[in-house]
């Protein structure tokens, strides 16, 4: 495992396979590469390399535009994704991939919760990632579904995986209650544009087994 730092952000490369193989970038709240790799083994996938990115200022750097209080009074959705994205594409990706012995066969960008929203938003900004994974993504984010429907992807995608827990829409918060419907609507909209988009409903609430939910998405995207 190689570890790099970009300011407060920690990046870990798990180089598992030599040659030109898929490379999955997973944005995580805490570094959890080993847990994610165990989950990938559990669902029966291998033959790829993994990069985990953690230590982000979560609500600030992963939100596409500023919004007010939604989840709690401590929300700080500052809309700094446009500032973080070029660091990811122009600094993190090149430095990580210099540690590989061959260019990746494809790049997957994966995220959980707000990072899942960021992953899909990224597909509208850059063509560097060709497969996108959002597990229990924050598709409830104010203005997001409207933005996704009204804008074009930066380039055609090879695949998109979207999931949500079957209890996530039972939240007492009226905004969070929309997450299931909005995730399903996004999947259908992307499919109508010719994207190989999969929507999956997982058992449990937002916090049930994130590594397994991400691993299931990686499996779908690597078997396209």
Q: What angle do CA 80, 200, 28 make, to 5 degrees?
A: 35
Total domain count for the chain? 1
**Exposed, middle or buried by CB within 10 Å (0-12, 13-18, 19+), for 79?**
middle
What confidence tens digit (pLDDT) does each residue in 38-56 have? 999 999 999 999 999 999 9
Q: Of 167, 164, 138, which is closest to residue 67 (Cα–Cα)?
A: 138
The residue written with tokens 């993504």 in the block is: 137
Q: What's the average model confidence in pLDDT over 216-221? A: 98
What confidence tens digit (pLDDT) does each residue in 71-118 have? 888 889 999 999 999 999 999 999 999 999 999 999 999 999 999 999
Question: pLDDT band at 62, cuts 50/70/90?
Answer: very high
pTM over 0.95? The answer is yes
Residue 131 sits in which domain range? 2-222
| CATH number, residue 77 | 3.40.50.1820
- Say how far residue 15 (Cα) sits from the centre of its chain: 20
């Amino acid at each position: 495992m190689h570890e790099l730092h970009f300011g407060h952000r920690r990046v870990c490369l798990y180089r598992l396979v030599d040659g030109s193989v898929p490379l999955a970038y997973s944005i995580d709240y805490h570094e959890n590469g080993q847990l994610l790799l165990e989950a990938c083994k559990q669902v029966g996938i291998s033959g790829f390399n993994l990069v985990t990115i953690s230590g982000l200022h979560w609500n600030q750097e992963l939100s596409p535009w500023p919004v007010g209080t939604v989840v709690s009074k401590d929300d700080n959705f500052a809309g700094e994704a446009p500032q973080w994205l070029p660091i990811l594409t122009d600094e993190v990706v090149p430095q990580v991939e210099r540690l590989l012995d061959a260019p990746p066969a494809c790049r997957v960008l994966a995220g959980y919760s707000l990072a899942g929203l960021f992953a899909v938003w990224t597909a509208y900004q850059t063509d560097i990632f060709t497969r996108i994974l959002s597990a229990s993504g924050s598709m409830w984010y104010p203005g997001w579904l409207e933005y996704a429907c009204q804008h074009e992807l930066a380039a055609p995608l090879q695949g998109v995986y979207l999931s949500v827990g079957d209890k996530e829409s039972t939240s007492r918060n009226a905004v969070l209650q929309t997450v299931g419907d909005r995730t399903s609507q996004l999947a259908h909209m992307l499919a109508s544009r010719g994207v190989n988009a999969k929507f999956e409903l997982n058992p449990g609430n937002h916090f049930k087994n994130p590594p397994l939910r991400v691993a299931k998405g990686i499996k779908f995207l690597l078997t396209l």
